[in-house]
């Protein structure tokens, strides 16, 4: 089995250690500030490692990955408020629903290649945003609130926030293991082959449209659940925050900063970017220019360090290639 | 019925401007296989350039055409050296990301400095009346100017030495280099021209509709639709496709709320991409 094979490698335990750190660190003394910082880190890691399946492995840029997150949030909150389903069921519903949508879309648009695919993902953001803004059951452009009572089943607001945090960390752990498992599976090998040369991969028998659609659909599942958790936490969802341009950019920056196509890079990138961001946000001059700074950072990485941090580490310390994936 | 007809005719007028905007995108795409994701923000730059020129210098709107054209060209050439030069010929991912990041920087600057409020340029030209319906003069003038600029570009590419060099580079960059075409400068020139056209189209759009710093996204999507309809790398096809999109918009406006237009256009975009990957007005190979 893939899992038992992976569990014999040190990297499997490095991931486990990372997850444990995230789970335990704020729980010592129930530090709320630290929890709020780490939940953002975890969110970056979830979104970036799932984006990485498309961007890093398959070489297809998905500008619309934020759609999974936003739609997941909408579907989850809608299931909770309109059908009073329990949180876990709603989260799964959001994940499955968004993945199915992604599969249907994916089978269509993933016959497209390169530029055309990228353009259609931009179209997906615009199209989805316009749809949600006009869809009355979801409150249109004003969004909708959950009742204050929704936290009751989780033991009141204070306890609920901790439960949501731990669920977020669980989703983060799953994202990391998913990226790792895909990278070491036959499926992942097919994706990497597509990323290197799609025609050659197709000739050698990789079912390229199907694999691309599956990668697209897989990369939708966990971000949708993360979106559900994130918006359940604030008990409010609106189009502007669900399909936030800044967040979707940050996710691309995190992936490229850490090193596209690597599992470790995503974690490093998320950590570094979050540090940079918290520094910038506290400086009043810079907080307005956050988009400008992430854009400039991305440009520098693309032009001068396309391999990101991990690219640098691999070339500087080649032996790390054996341990860090 | 007359209302529907009027709406379609107005769609044709606006469609010429959409077509012009998309020509800027498709020119760069066709010549160096780079999708310029700063396209939308360049359109917005054209809009605000017009706004600034009218409100500071007080010049009449259409006189702003020349400074916008020249300014757009300079900005575009700068864009080439900043973000495109190093990624031409590399995988699509790289050029998409580099132009995307420039787009972010400009959008970020715009929202930080100007906010996201609505801006408006007032152009009053007597319109043309048809029964109860009046076609605004600004729409007619914008359509005529867009068609003229598009025609000028067509003549320029076909009949001047630089235009021929641009087409040669589009066809085969290495061969062009071998026969002495300074291909790097031609690429910079092409991006400059593409951006200048986008900026002028933005200027014309600003005389038609109110705009915000974030308007670029809508017009980028429209330009994509037009580009795939017209067959990418085909400026004249882009103009026809622009008119086709305008007609479609005009035809659905009486029946569908305006905010749904983008959803319909996106659906059209995907359908056309899948059904006609070469575009409805696909060019002969290498025809540009």
Residues B215-232 have pLDDT tens digits of 888 898 889 888 888 876
Cβ contacts of A288 within 8 Å, gap of 6 or more:
B112
pLDDT of A70 reads 94
CA atoms within 13 A on the CB side of A37: 17
pLDDT of B224 reads 87
Q: Is A307 on the interface with B (CB under 8 A)?
A: no
Percentage of chain B with pLDDT > 70?
A: 95
Residue in B closest to A130 by C-alpha: B263
Of A113-117, B84-88, B273-277, minimum mean pLDDT range: B273-277
Count of Cβ atoms closer than 10 Å to residue B196 Cβ: 25
Answer whether B101 sits within 8 Å of A124, measured CB to CB: no
Contact A9, A322 (CB under 8 A): no
**Residue B42, CA distances (Å) to B24, B38, B206, B207, B247 in order:** 10, 6, 13, 16, 25
Residue from the list A60, A288, A306 with its beta carbon closest to the beta carbon of B94: A306
Report, as an integer, the average pLDDT of B12-40: 92
Q: Look up the ipTM and state it.
A: 0.86
**Interval B157-214: pLDDT, tens:** 889 999 999 999 998 899 999 999 999 999 999 999 999 999 999 999 999 999 999 8
**Interval B88-143: pLDDT, tens:** 888 888 899 999 999 999 999 998 888 888 998 887 777 777 777 777 888 888 99
- pLDDT of B275 above 80: no
Determine the number of helices (DSSP H) and then strands (DSSP E) in chain B: 11, 2
Q: Is A298 on the interface with B (CB under 8 A)?
A: yes
C-alpha distance from A320 to closest chain B C-alpha (Å): 26
- Burial of residue A153 (number of CB atoms within 10 Å: 0-12, 13-18, 19+): exposed
Residue from the list A130, A296, A306 with its beta carbon closest to the beta carbon of B259: A130
**Interval B28-60: pLDDT, tens:** 988 988 989 999 999 999 999 999 999 888 888
Residue in B closest to A298 by C-alpha: B101
Report, as an integer, the average pLDDT of A55-61: 90
Contact B27, B235 (CB under 8 A): yes
CATH number at residue A303: 1.10.3470
Q: Pairing state of beta strands A144-145 and A236-237? A: antiparallel
Report, as an integer, the average pLDDT of B237-252: 89
Of A153-162, A247-256, B77-86, minimum mean pLDDT range: A153-162
CA A130, distance to chain mean position in Å, is: 22
C-alpha distance from B71 to closest chain A C-alpha (Å): 22
Report, as an integer, the average pLDDT of A6-17: 88
Provide the residue range defining the domain that includes A38.
Answer: 2-323
Q: Is B92 on the interface with A (CB under 8 A)?
A: yes
Please, which residues 167-196 of chain A have a Cβ atom closer than 8 Å to chain B? none
pLDDT of B286 reads 44
CA atoms within 13 A on the CB side of B19: 33
Please, which residues 51-80 of chain A have a Cβ atom closer than 8 Å to chain B? 55, 59-61, 63
Answer whether A119 sits within 8 Å of B266, measured CB to CB: no
Count of Cβ atoms closer than 10 Å to residue B115 Cβ: 11
**Residue B131, CA distances (Å) to A297, B139, B251 in order:** 57, 18, 19
Answer whether B105 sits within 8 Å of A249, measured CB to CB: no
Mean pLDDT of chain A: 88
Contact B88, B32 (CB under 8 A): yes
Report, as an integer, the average pLDDT of A43-58: 93
Total domains present in chain A: 1
C-alpha distance from A123 to closest chain B C-alpha (Å): 6
**Interval A148-167: pLDDT, tens:** 778 888 878 888 889 999 99
Report, as an integer, the average pLDDT of A200-213: 90
Contact A303, B86 (CB under 8 A): yes
**Confidence label for B288 from pLDDT (cuts 50, 70 and 90):** very low
Please report the number of interchain residue pairs, chain A to chain B, with beta-carbon separation below 8 angstroms. 121
């Amino acid at each position: 089995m893939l899992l038992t094979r992976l569990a014999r490698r040190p990297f499997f335990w490095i991931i486990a250690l990372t997850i444990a750190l995230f789970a335990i660190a704020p729980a010592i003394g129930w530090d709320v500030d630290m929890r709020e910082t780490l939940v953002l880190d975890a969110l970056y890691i979830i979104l970036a490692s799932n984006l990485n399946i498309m961007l890093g492995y398959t070489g297809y840029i998905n500008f619309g990955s934020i759609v999974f997150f936003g739609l997941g949030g909408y579907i989850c909150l809608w299931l909770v408020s309109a059908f009073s389903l329990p949180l876990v069921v709603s989260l799964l519903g959001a994940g499955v629903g968004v993945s199915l949508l992604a599969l249907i879309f994916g089978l269509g648009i993933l016959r497209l290649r390169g530029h055309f695919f990228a353009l259609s993902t931009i179209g997906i953001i615009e199209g989805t945003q316009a749809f949600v803004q006009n869809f009355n059951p979801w409150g249109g452009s004003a969004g909708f609130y959950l009742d204050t009572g929704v936290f009751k089943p989780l033991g009141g607001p204070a306890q609920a926030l901790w439960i949501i945090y731990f669920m977020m960390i669980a989703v983060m752990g799953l994202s990391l293991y998913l990226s790792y498992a895909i990278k070491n599976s036959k499926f992942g090998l097919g994706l990497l082959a597509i990323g290197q040369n799609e025609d050659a991969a197709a000739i050698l028998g990789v079912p390229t449209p199907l694999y691309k659609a599956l990668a697209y659909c897989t990369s939708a599942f966990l971000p949708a659940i993360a979106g559900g958790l994130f918006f359940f936490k604030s008990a409010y969802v609106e189009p502007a925050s669900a399909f936030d341009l800044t967040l979707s950019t940050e996710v691309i920056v995190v992936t490229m900063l850490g090193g596209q196509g690597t599992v470790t890079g995503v974690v490093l990138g998320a950590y570094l970017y979050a540090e940079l961001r918290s520094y910038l946000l506290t400086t009043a001059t810079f907080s307005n220019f956050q988009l400008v700074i992430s854009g400039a950072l991305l440009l520098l990485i693309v032009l001068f360090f396309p391999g990101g941090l991990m690219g640098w580490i691999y070339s500087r310390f080649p032996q790390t290639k054996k341990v860090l994936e | 019925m007359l209302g529907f007809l009027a709406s379609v005719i107005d769609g044709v007028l606006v469609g010429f401007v959409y077509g012009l905007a998309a020509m800027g995108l498709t020119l760069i795409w066709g010549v160096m296989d780079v999708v310029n994701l700063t396209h939308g923000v360049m359109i917005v730059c054209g809009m605000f350039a017009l706004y600034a020129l009218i409100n500071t210098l007080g010049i009449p709107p259409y006189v702003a055409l020349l400074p916008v054209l020249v300014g757009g060209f300079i900005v575009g050439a700068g864009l080439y050296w900043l973000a495109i030069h190093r990624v031409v010929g590399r995988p699509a991912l790289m050029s998409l990301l580099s132009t995307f990041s420039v787009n972010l920087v400009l959008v970020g600057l715009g929202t930080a400095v100007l906010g996201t409020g609505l801006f408006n340029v007032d152009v009053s030209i007597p319109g043309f009346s048809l029964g109860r319906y009046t076609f605004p003069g600004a729409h007619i003038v914008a359509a005529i100017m867009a068609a003229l600029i598009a025609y000028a570009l067509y003549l320029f590419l076909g009949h001047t030495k630089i235009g021929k060099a641009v087409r040669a580079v589009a066809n085969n960059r290495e061969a062009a280099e071998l026969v002495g075409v300074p291909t790097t400068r031609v690429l910079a020139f092409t991006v400059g021209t593409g951006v200048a056209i986008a900026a002028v189209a933005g200027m014309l759009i600003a005389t038609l509709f109110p705009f915000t710093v974030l308007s670029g996204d809508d017009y980028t999507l429209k330009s994509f639709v037009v580009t795939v309809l017209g067959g990418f790398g085909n400026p004249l096809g882009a103009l026809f496709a622009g008119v086709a999109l305008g007609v479609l918009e005009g035809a659905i406006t009486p029946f569908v709320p305006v905010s749904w237009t983008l959803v319909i256009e996106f659906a059209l975009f995907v359908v056309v991409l899948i059904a006609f990957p070469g575009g409805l007005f696909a060019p002969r190979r290498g025809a540009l």
